[in-house]
Amino acid sequence: MLPDRPTAQRAAAAIAATLLLSLLFVASYVGALHDPRPDGVPIAVAAQVPGQVAGALEQGDSLQIRRVADADAARRAIDERDAYGALVATGGGLRLITAPAASPAIAQLLRDELAPRLERQGATVALAQAHPLPAGDPRGLVPFYLAIGLVLAGYLGAALLGLALGTELGIRGTARRLLAIGVLAVLGGLLGTAVAAAIGGGGAFGWCALLGALTVAATGAATVAFQRLLGFVGTGVSILLFVIAGNPAAGGAAAPELLPEPWRAIGSLLPNGAATAGIRDARYFPDASLAGPLLVLLAWTVLSVGLALALGRRGRTLSEAEARATAAAAAGV
């Protein structure tokens, strides 16, 4: 028996929305990750390295050479996450220092491509490592998966809390959801970091827990704001931003410098990329500044909370059926 016209229209809209999101998912992940190529990878080069060597490295766009005073400054550039590697002069030639914890893919690229290129120019190249990956995280993926798990907690929590607490329109109902997301953020940051540390090791528990809590708060508050602004469609906007665009742009499976545009440009501005970078640096680079990731996550949180409250009195609300569909959609991504 054929459905009535309104039911058929709703089914057609659901099919179209599902197809659109799935095709965008495929296009985003394949587009970002199918062919990683280095572009502007920063490398610290000590002043004692011969000028012709440094000049040869500057040919092309794959590397960005940053001249520093000496070997200590080159190592400090790695420690502070200003460079993925360093080239310093030694008594017998050159030493190429890589940092697998910054990006295993870039460290391998430098070993497999840069070192042979230097040797073809007649240089003797010795390899060294700074900030190796621990045994519990040999591929350097723990920060990325911790970050995307906490992103999931944010938007899924917002959807489920909308169902659990009701869809009351008004500042009071919005504030209640935001308060619950705040509790979820604290617990998610602490417990998520504890699970990641138990499985994959790593340090800086306090910083990672703080970054994790802000990640949940940012994505959860943003989802509430989008729902207040757009109703049911707001959940789709969250999925579009945080799953379809944000996860491949985070650079967790590669590095931002290996991604094409526009993923490279947006990665550090979304909670996924900020959380991944911040957690990685906190765990493996104690001298690196966390100001950038913290600022991005705080900005998302504060602006989203403000927008959600501003829209709470006059924004759209979800019916019970829409709230259930929203929670199901978020849970299925």
* Rounded distance between C-alpha atoms, residue 212 and residue 216, angstroms: 6
Of 127, 115, 140, 43, nearest in space to 85 by CA: 43
Contacts (Cβ under 8 Å, ≥6 apart) of 178:
221, 224, 305, 308, 309
* CB atoms inside a 10 Å sphere around CB 45: 25
CA 61 from centre of chain: 24
Helix (H) or strand (E) holding 303: helix 291-312
* Token output for 275: 């959380």
User: How is the chain split into domains, by residue range?
Assistant: 41-129, 137-332
Q: What is the pLDDT along the chain (333 residues), one digit of tens a residue?
A: 567 777 778 788 878 888 888 899 899 999 988 888 889 999 999 988 887 777 777 777 889 999 999 999 999 999 999 999 999 998 878 999 999 999 999 999 999 988 888 888 888 889 999 999 998 899 999 999 999 999 999 999 998 887 777 656 678 888 889 999 999 999 999 999 999 999 988 789 999 999 999 999 999 999 999 988 888 788 889 999 999 999 999 988 788 999 999 999 999 999 999 999 999 999 999 999 999 999 999 999 999 999 999 987 765 555 555 555 555 445 555
Helix (H) or strand (E) holding 46: strand 41-46
Backbone dihedral region for residue 251 (phi beyond 0: left; psi -120 to 50: alpha; all else: beta): left
pLDDT score recorded for residue 311:
87
How would DSSP label each residue in 74-87? HHHHHHTTS-SEEE
pLDDT score recorded for residue 213:
98
At the second CATH level, the architecture of 41-129 is: 3-Layer(aba) Sandwich (3.40)
pLDDT score recorded for residue 258:
93
Max distance between CA atoms of the chain, in angstroms, equals 85
Would the pTM of this model clear 0.75, i.e. be above it?
yes
Contacts (Cβ under 8 Å, ≥6 apart) of 276:
143, 144, 147, 148, 250, 251, 252
pLDDT score recorded for residue 315:
54
pLDDT score recorded for residue 172:
84
Of 269, 239, 267, 275, nearest in space to 251 by CA: 267
